[in-house]
Amino acid sequence: MESGKLLHFKNLKRYRDETNATIDTNYFSTALKNMKDGFAERFEQFKTNIKSPLAFIVNPLNTNTNEINSAPFGIDAGSLQMQLLDLKTKDLWSGKFTELKSKLEELEDQKCIHIEQHKWTALKEIPRVEALIFGAWNSLPECYSEVKKLAYGVLTIFAGSTYSCKQAFSCMNTIKSKARSQLTNKNLESCLKLKTTIYKPDIIKLSKGMQSQCFH
């Protein structure tokens, strides 16, 4: 922007070329700098406090748990450290996160390729990052309960965004309409899970395991 070439502002460059207008690059440079400084100040505390927890959910084997405040999640720090030590010695389970890292790297490569080639439909069909992360953690046995509790606690911070909450309430209002006012809370919860989850059950496999009812 300061050079006046507008290499990364194609629309502004097109407007200047088509109209021969004079662009005050100093004004835009100042605005961009103020925006950058504002974001840096706003997210500085967030980056400091969330860096280690974010690293933990993807690579728990090489994360210093002393830098993570586990108190809000109701986790016993001693049990957490012992379980992590045990997890590091079990190749079967620790290998899950080595595999996860490889999958996430491959996923990012695919995203970059699709974006570069403007294949937006293919981009939507790429597996979601959270699905891969949850898959890795769900595969761990319950003997690592404290480790899993910390991971789920950190993941919940992002899963429970304002958008997700609004989406859930919108679905709830649609499901429990005036015509279905007698719907119990238990059934409503089940309907909400079906509506908002990204999990896709294998209907054919499930139907094969069901006993058919014959009527005479």
Residue 164 and residue 147 in contact, taking contact as beta carbons nearer than 8 Å: no
Full-model pTM = 0.55
Q: pLDDT by residue (tens digit) across 58-102?
A: 888 887 777 777 777 788 888 888 998 898 888 888 888 889 889
Q: pLDDT by residue (tens digit) across 156-187?
A: 776 555 666 777 788 888 888 888 888 888 88
Contacts (Cβ under 8 Å, ≥6 apart) of 152: 137
Q: pLDDT by residue (tens digit) across 95-124?
A: 888 898 899 899 899 889 988 888 888 888
Structure tokens at 66: 């002393």
**Other CB atoms within 10 Å distance of the CB of residue 192:** 16
Radius of gyration of the chain (CA): 25
